[in-house]
Amino acid sequence: MNKYLLLIVILATAACAHVAVTAANVPALLSDQRITRDVDFGSDYGSRLDIYQPADMHAPHPVIVFYYGGAWKTGSKEDYRFVADAFTSRGYVVVIPDYPKYPKVKFQDWQKDAAKSFAWAHEHIKAYGGNPMQVYIVGHSAGAHIGALLAADPSYLKAEKGETSWIRAFAGMAGPYSFEPYEPDFIDMFGPPERYPLMMVDTRISGKQPPMLLLWGKADKDVGYENMEKLEAAIKQKGGEAQVKLYDDMGHIDIIASMAKLSTVTAPVADDIDRFFKQYR
């Protein structure tokens, strides 16, 4: 009873920019998932990862590595327990890594760090009840870009003695996959211009990438639909597998907020991702 009273107090008194994340994570505090925090995966920047295990650990579970968004500048793995809860409740072991942010680093530093966290998960997740042959990537916004580029450009995992075939499938929510930087900070983090093709996911497609599900809300004012169009077209032109899933009246944050149990966004985003991944067991 005291735990529930505490949750009510949190919801009633939170009144800052962190309130949305706090509220989203409150129901997850009551879940029966098991958590291993701050695992060292060999990051050059001191990044760590958290591992969430479902209560039922009788058999190896499929695995999701989740990369969060924040314009490559902000965010923390602790903010996304609600995402882990959404997928552990569907039978996944969930890994949420941190990665270094701008302006401390620039592209491709966080990409290389993400490759390290994914390679670590592939190598070690069996010890946490995960199936290393069924490891998927999910990302939102900047995290969707990071995940898609890991899947599209084999050089990142190759540097970790891995390969893109380790990624069973990818699902990205509102990913800025194929844009040209125009704001000063994005120009600085991705530039100079001759390097832009390295960060445009559609230019890295060979047709050998894992299957990709690209999810986007039609009310998204931050990331344009052309990012989905360009990447889907590039994948299909090369003979790869891609699906686009659109949601009416859903904005950039709504698409991930839908995974929180207290969310007023009712679109079945987590179910759609789960259904897609089950095709590639």
pLDDT tens readout for residues 167-215: 999 999 999 999 999 999 999 999 999 999 999 999 999 999 999 999 9
228 and 129, same structural domain? yes
Q: Which helix (H) or strand (E) holds 167?
A: strand 167-173
Task: Supply the range of the domain harboring residue 7.
Answer: 1-30
265 and 215, same structural domain? yes
∠253-15-264 over CA atoms, to 5°? 40
Domain count across the chain: 2
Phi-psi bin for 7: left (phi > 0), alpha (psi -120 to 50), beta?
A: alpha
Express each pLDDT in 237-254 by its tens digit. 999 999 999 999 999 999
128 and 81, same structural domain? yes
Closest CA to 135 of 217, 75, 51: 51
21 and 119, same structural domain? no
44 and 13, same structural domain? no
154 and 220, same structural domain? yes
63 and 7, same structural domain? no
227 and 112, same structural domain? yes
Handedness of CA 228, 149, 67, 165 (dihedral sign): positive
Structure token pair of residue 169: 């499938």
* Alpha-carbon distance values, 37 to 22, 50, 52, 81 (Å): 18, 4, 9, 11
233 and 133, same structural domain? yes
Give the pTM: 0.91
Closest CA to 171 of 37, 261, 278, 39: 278
64 and 2, same structural domain? no
Express each pLDDT in 50-104 by its tens digit. 999 998 878 899 999 999 999 999 999 999 999 999 999 999 999 999 999 999 9
